[in-house]
């Protein structure tokens, strides 16, 4: 989804959170199989989110994902996970939510509810479509992100299909000489 571009900006709130996506061993029961970490970043001004795979929950992994998508001088709202503590060094203003005490910071009024809602919808969708592993996990994430950005809903498949085809046409536009009719 590199066509999405930057989210956030000077003074714009971006909620950042991480989640683990896992594959169950059999029939969605029993032990967990492979686990995948994902960082989600939600721009509250446009109500859009991007997801980025990370190998672990360390500062270097988070830094790479956040600096790829979130514009400098954004107000980044996170939980108290220590890996986020270095965000100000990268040019971001950081506001905290202590989830062990409250869901909305009583002093600032900030929360991470929107990105948490994205995680809920994503995990529900992934459980409905069946088990996924490897690249299929990222295909699910890309599809979910695309649907969120462009409002594609399954209840209007005709409109969703037309929107999708117009995006494909924009990305893979033919050059004028390729579009000429052959006689």
Mean pLDDT of the chain: 82
Q: Which residue has the higher pLDDT, 35 or 43?
A: 43
Mean pLDDT, residues 133-144 taken together: 75
Mean pLDDT, residues 3-21 taken together: 87
How high is the pLDDT of residue 3?
44
Q: Is the pLDDT of residue 100 over 50?
A: yes
**What does the chain look like in DSSP terms, one character per residue?**
-GGG--B--TT-EEEEEEEEEEEEEETTEEEEEEEEEEEEEEETTTTEEEEEEESSSSHHHHHHHHHHHBPTT-EEEE-S-GGGGGGGGGT-EEEE--TTT-SB-TTT--B-HHHHHHHHHHHHHHHHS----THHHHHHHHHHHHHHHHT--GGGHHHHHHHHHHHHHHHTPPPGGGGSPP-
How high is the pLDDT of residue 1?
41
| Residue boundaries of the structural domains of the chain | 2-174
Mean pLDDT, residues 141-168 taken together: 77
Mean pLDDT, residues 150-175 taken together: 76
Tell the CATH topology of 2-174: Nucleotidyltransferase; domain 5 (3.30.420)
């Amino acid at each position: 989804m590199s066509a999405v571009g930057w989210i956030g900006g000077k003074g714009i709130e971006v909620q950042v959170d991480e989640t683990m996506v896992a594959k169950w061993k059999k029939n969605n029961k029993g032990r967990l199989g492979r686990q995948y970490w994902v960082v989600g970043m939600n721009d509250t001004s446009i109500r859009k989110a991007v997801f980025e795979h990370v190998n672990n929950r360390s500062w270097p992994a988070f830094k790479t994902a956040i600096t790829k998508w979130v514009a400098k001088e954004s107000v980044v709202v996170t939980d108290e996970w220590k890996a986020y503590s270095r965000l100000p060094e990268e040019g971001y203003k950081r506001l905290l939510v202590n989830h062990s005490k409250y869901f909305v910071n009583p002093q600032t009024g900030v929360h991470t509810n929107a990105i948490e809602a994205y995680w809920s919808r994503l995990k529900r969708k992934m459980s409905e479509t069946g088990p996924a592993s490897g690249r299929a996990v990222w295909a699910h994430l890309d599809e979910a992100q695309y649907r969120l950005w462009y409002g594609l809903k399954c209840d209007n498949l005709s409109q969703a299909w037309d929107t999708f085809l117009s995006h494909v046409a924009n990305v893979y536009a033919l050059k004028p000489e390729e579009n000429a009719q052959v006689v």
